[in-house]
Amino acid sequence: MRIDQHPIISFSKGKKVKFSFDGKEYEGYEDEPIAASLHAAGIRVLGHSHKLNRPRGFYCAIGNCSSCLMVVNGEPNVRICVEKLKEGMVVETQIGKGDLK
């Protein structure tokens, strides 16, 4: 959910870009963190725990807690709370520890 009206902040946003998440197309703003674009689209389950596969969300926003790891353009373990959104990115849910191709 985007905040449209704010009493003291005017948000500077990049241009609108399209990206895919688990095969479905979404829109976000260029250079915002991927997690922000997903959040705005109502997607709050990001990573999963390795052992019990429990869903994990957005926790630290500084690339520190590993709660938001996803596969981005084929690369696993990307911290999407700090990775910037680009046109045409392919974002996927990661199950397990991920494989490097």
Partner 1 sequence: MKHTEIVVIGGGPAGLSAAINAASCGAKVMVIDRNSQLGGQLVKQTHMFFGSQKQYASVRGIDIAGILTAELLKYQDNVEILKDTTVIGLYDDGVLTVEKDGKYLKINPESIIVTAGASEKFLTFPNNDLPGIYGAGAVQTLMNVYGVAPGNSVVMVGAGNIGLIVSYQLMQAGIKVKAIIDAAPRIGGYLVHASKIRRMGVPIKTSCSVKYAHGKDKLEKVTVWKLDEKWQPIPGSEEDIEADVMCISVGLSPLAELLWQIGCDMKFIPELGGHVPMRNEELQTNIKGIYVAGDVAGVEEASSAMVEGRLAGLCAAKNLGHASKDFDTLKKDYLEQLDSLRSGPVGEKIRKGLNQLVV
Residue-wise DSSP of 39-54: HHTT-----B-TTT--
* Min dist. Cβ of residue 9 to partner 1 (A): 6
Beta pairing partners, 44: none
* Min dist. Cβ of residue 99 to partner 1 (A): 19
- Give 66: exposed, middle or buried? Use CB within 10 Å, 0-12, 13-18, 19+: middle
Residue with tokens 């997690």: 35
* Min dist. Cβ of residue 20 to partner 1 (A): 19
For partner 1, the closer of residues 20 and 49 by Cβ is 49
For partner 1, the closer of residues 20 and 64 by Cβ is 64
For partner 1, the closer of residues 45 and 90 by Cβ is 45
Q: Can you give the binding site for partner 1, defined by CB under 8 A? A: 1-3, 5-9, 11, 13, 32-33, 35-36, 39-40, 44-46, 49, 54-65, 67, 81-82, 84
Query: Is 85 within 8 Å of 34 (Cβ atoms)?
Result: yes
